[in-house]
Amino acid sequence: MADGVMSEADTQNTEVMDLFRKGLEEHVPHGDPDRDSIVVSSESMQRGAELTYTENLSEKDAAVLRRMLRTGPPVRQLTLWQISLAAFRVAFQDLEECPSLKEINFLLIDCEGKDLGISVTGVFRNLQSLDLRCDNPGSGFAKDIAGYIRQNKSLRELSLWNSCGGDEGAAILIEALAANDTLKKFTLASMELSSDTLLDFARMLTSNSTLEVVDLFDVCPAEKDKLSSLLEQELCADVFKRLKILWPQELLPELTALLRKGSCYRDLSVSVTSTVDEGVLREFFDAVAADKMLQTLHFYPSEESFDALADGIASVVRRTTTLREICNLMRVQEGKEHQLVVILEALKENSCVTSFTMYAELLNADIVKSLSELLAVNSTLVDVAICEYWGILPEQVETILQGLRKNNTLTGLMVSWDPDESDGITEMEEILKRNARLRSKAAECASSGSHDVSDAKAAD
């Protein structure tokens, strides 16, 4: 009898450790050389591991996950790409607190029209971050989440995707947020709400001083007449420092005024077209260049770029000393490659932008030459994406390599979606990996204060 019990215990422990190792492996991205050599380190056992499961979690594995969360090894971060409602309940329903677990990311739960019951599940009480992406939630979903917001005193970040129960559900959440004094970031994404709901979120921020950002991006349309009236209210003037939305070109004058007052959120997203008044656009770019708080400048949606936009971005790049990221999703059409080149040329003089994205339909000689020259002289850029076309010519690869070989900071480069394997592409990948190692080593040196010669060289 004792042997049978011991055998069952051993089997359960083996199942837990197998699932644990699988989560460690799948947390490492495909292509990473460390993916095939994962070991259960003492650090992951002490601090808590970061686990990812990319496949739909079965009810059987959900039961094993439940045992893991109850008995260990300790888990600090858990990411589930897909889980059914039944498996969710097997893993989490009525599960007691798990002190080590600080972050959960549910990338897809099909709720089947039923409620999750998150507010009464103990394992969620100690979380600091929760990302919840639910399809077909029940009618009580918003009330459930609102109850969780009210009860939880440890949560710092909450993201809801796909649905929150419409405007009525959002109103319930806003009421709960108004009374919360611990949450730092709240995000709604991949859903459509009304402009009135945007105004309600803005008004909520006038009474909640703890929230650092409410990220609505393009969830709620920013209508000129309604937002203009809100901006005129002195009580609401500063809420846009903490409200992330997509600003339409109709509101560029108001946005420019906010920038000049230093009253915008640090990540700025704008939607413009070639019909925009060029004088208004220039004034906006002047305000962006002068602003010392902005970190990200993002243009959306994915339509055709135009000369005034490219020239404006280039003017900002030449003048800014604080902007970290520029992402222009408006594509450069064939024959308009000068729009990208003018910005690449400006980046040669810039020492603050670390990430740049702007896609050309095709690479040409001018783009490739300018990129190569940029990489040879720039020691700030970490990530550059300029083309997603499936192929790239060997001579273009070689031209880019001439500059990349002199670069020690770039770790991400998108110049082709799926290039043919070649010695040049392999060398490009190896240089980026080397730079990533140097970057990691430099970070270690900075944190440890090491003065070893080799470490200093890496940091330099």
pLDDT along the chain (460 residues), means of 10: 48 88 87 51 72 97 97 95 96 91 97 85 90 95 94 95 95 97 97 96 95 96 90 82 96 96 96 96 98 96 92 98 97 97 98 98 97 98 96 96 98 93 94 94 73 49
Per-residue 3-state assignment (H helix, E strand, C coil) for 304-333: ECCHHHHHHHHHHHHHCCCCCEEEEEEEEC
User: Is 348 inside a domain boundary?
Assistant: no
Which residue type is seen at 315? S
> Taking the alpha carbons of 13, 14, 16, 20 in that order, is the dihedral positive or negative?
positive
Q: Radius of gyration (Cα) for the chain, nearest Å?
A: 25
- Asked, for residue 127, whether it belongs to a domain, the answer is yes
Q: CA 361, 366, 372 angle in degrees (round to 5)?
A: 100
Do the domain assignments include residue 134? yes
Residue 448 lies in a domain: no
CATH number at residue 141: 3.80.10.10
- Largest Cα separation within the chain, whole Å, is 85
Strand partners, 188: 160
What is the per-residue pLDDT for 236?
Answer: 76
- Read off the pLDDT of residues 401-457 as tens digits, 9 standing for 90 and up: 999 999 999 999 999 998 888 999 999 999 999 999 998 888 777 766 655 545 545
Q: What is the pLDDT of residue 411?
A: 97
By the 8 A CB rule, do 92 and 122 touch? no
Domain for residue 311, yes or no? no
pLDDT at 444: 75
Task: Kindly tell me the burial class for residue 31, based on how many C-beta atoms sit within 10 Å of its own C-beta (0-12, 13-18, 19 or more).
Answer: exposed
Token reading at 307 = 């000369």
From 251, 239, 164, select the one nearest 199 (Cα to Cα): 239
- Residue 279: which region, alpha, beta or left (left: phi > 0; alpha: psi -120 to 50)? alpha
Its domain, for residue 153, covers: 47-187
- Sequence-ordered list of residues with C-beta below 8 angstroms from that of 263, at least 6 positions apart, any chain: 237, 238, 240, 241
Domain count, the chain: 1
Model pLDDT, residue 4:
46
Phi, psi angle pair for 161, to nearest 5°? -120, 155
Q: Is position 162 within any domain?
A: yes
Residues 6+ apart with CB under 8 A from 344: 367, 370, 371, 374, 386
Residue 194: inside a domain = no
pTM of the model: 0.89
pLDDT (0 to 100) of residue 456: 46
pLDDT in the model for residue 43? 58
Which residues pair with residue 358 across a beta bridge? 328
pLDDT recorded at residue 73:
94
Q: Helix count (H) and strand count (E) of the chain?
A: 16, 14
